[in-house]
Amino acid sequence: MGADIKKLRNRIKSVDSTLHLTKAMGLVASSKIRRATDSMNKARQYERAFAEAIEALTACTECQKSPFMRASEGKKTRLIVIAGDRGLAGGYNANIFRALREYGDAELIPIGKRACEKCGKEINSAERFSSTQALELARTLCEDFKNGEYDRLGIVGTKYVSMLTQEAYVSWILPLERKEDAPSHNAVFEPDEQSILNLAIAEYISALIMSAVRESFACEIASRRNAMDSAGKNAQQMIDELGLEYNRARQGAITQELTEIVAGSNA
């Protein structure tokens, strides 16, 4: 009986330390979430403003000749994969890699430690990904696309639906698609639409990358918070159950001792 009580006590201790850990991680995530969603909204706003201008440009016939709008026959795909920096974020990283499974032969450009580890490339952080890095990446991507080194560029990221729901998605960036119903701009384009498009495209792609990275990071944090929340709840429930069992065992031992004493004095 005594050994049983000791075992229970040790288990309660270990679950309790797990509870502390999940609580701490949940708190860290909660404190980061505000800033993460803020920067997500800013990057999104910038990307929308840019997208509007680009839509107006792609709508004009002149731009159909741009190398960035040419749809090619080839199937060489490049994918920018945005995953988290750390684990313990529920299904966050797993969902990204599941979405990736469909594109086994694509060339991957990872952002975030977990994605880099998976692809075996140089490690970079999704949390500290800067707009300079994004612009650099976008420039090389544009150059390679123009030279026909690949035919399709996509982003695999996570969409922030709400605090509780995040979804992995794949969206295509290049070649640019023409929006028929884009609002017509009666502005003057200098020198002409196509040159502006060709010059601004790198900035636009860097805006898309930034907004996807910031959004995915907000998702990572939100997802970690939820995971830690439910892990904490489970740990608490376990402690309660173990506590009950422990008390019962302890009480059992005392009762047994008492019966033994009473039986001894009666004899």
Partner 1 sequence: MNKFKLIISSPDGAIFEGEVSKITLRGVEGELAVMAGHIPFVTAIKPCECKIELDEGEIRTATTEGGLLTVSKDKTALLSSSFKFND
User: Under the criterion CB under 8 A, does residue 188 sit at the interface with partner 1?
Assistant: yes
Question: At CA 67, angle to CA 66 and CA 70, rounded to 5?
Answer: 95
Q: How far is residue 33's CA from residue 228's CA, in Å, rounded to a whole number?
A: 14
Q: Does 176 bind partner 1 (CB under 8 A)?
A: no
SS3 of 176, please? coil
Site for partner 1 in 23-42 (CB under 8 A): 39, 42
**What SS3 state is found at 109?**
strand
**Judged by CB under 8 A, does residue 8 bind partner 1?**
no
* 97 lies in the site for partner 1, by CB under 8 A: no
Q: Does residue number 132 form part of the binding site for partner 1 (CB under 8 A)?
A: yes
User: Which one of the spans 76-84, 106-114, 153-161, 180-188 is the region binding partner 1 (CB under 8 A)?
Assistant: 180-188
Considering only residues 43 through 72, tell me which ones interact with partner 1, judged by CB under 8 A: 43, 45-47, 49-50, 53, 56-57
Query: What is the residue type of 143?
Result: E
Residue from 78, 214, 224, 225 touching partner 1 (CB under 8 A): that is 214
> Residue 112 region, left (φ>0) first, then alpha (ψ -120 to 50), else beta?
left
Identity of the residue, 132 or 266, whose beta carbon is nearer to partner 1 in the bound complex: 132
Distance from C-alpha of 183 to C-alpha of 173, rounded to nearest angstrom = 20
Q: Which is nearer to partner 1, 15 or 111 (CB)?
A: 111
Residue number with CB closer to partner 1 (56 or 99): 56
CA 163 – CA 9 distance, rounded (Å): 37
Q: Is the Cβ–Cβ distance between 213 and 80 less than 8 Å?
A: no
Instruction: Provide the minimum distance between the beta carbon of 50 and partner 1 in the complex, in angstroms, as a whole number.
Output: 5
Q: Which is nearer to partner 1, 122 or 190 (CB)?
A: 190
Residue 54 in contact with residue 197, Cβ under 8 Å?
A: yes
Dist CA 16 CA 118 (whole Å): 33
CA 136 to chain centre: 22
- For residues 123, 128, 132, 137, the Cα torsion angle rounded to the nearest 10 degrees is 40
Rounded to 5°, the CA angle 205-206-209 comes to 90
Task: Tell me the closest approach of the beta carbon of residue 209 to partner 1, in angstroms.
Answer: 9
In the complex with partner 1, the residue whose CB is nearer, 188 or 263, is 188
199 touching partner 1, by CB under 8 A = yes
Contact 175, 169 (CB under 8 A): no
Question: Is 103 a residue that touches partner 1 (CB under 8 A)?
Answer: no
Q: Which is nearer to partner 1, 10 or 64 (CB)?
A: 64
**Which range, of 26-34, 89-97, 108-116, 191-199, touches partner 1 by CB under 8 A?**
191-199
The site for partner 1 (CB under 8 A) is made up of 39, 42-43, 45-47, 49-50, 53, 56-57, 131-132, 134-135, 185-191, 195-196, 199-200, 202-204, 206-207, 210-211, 214
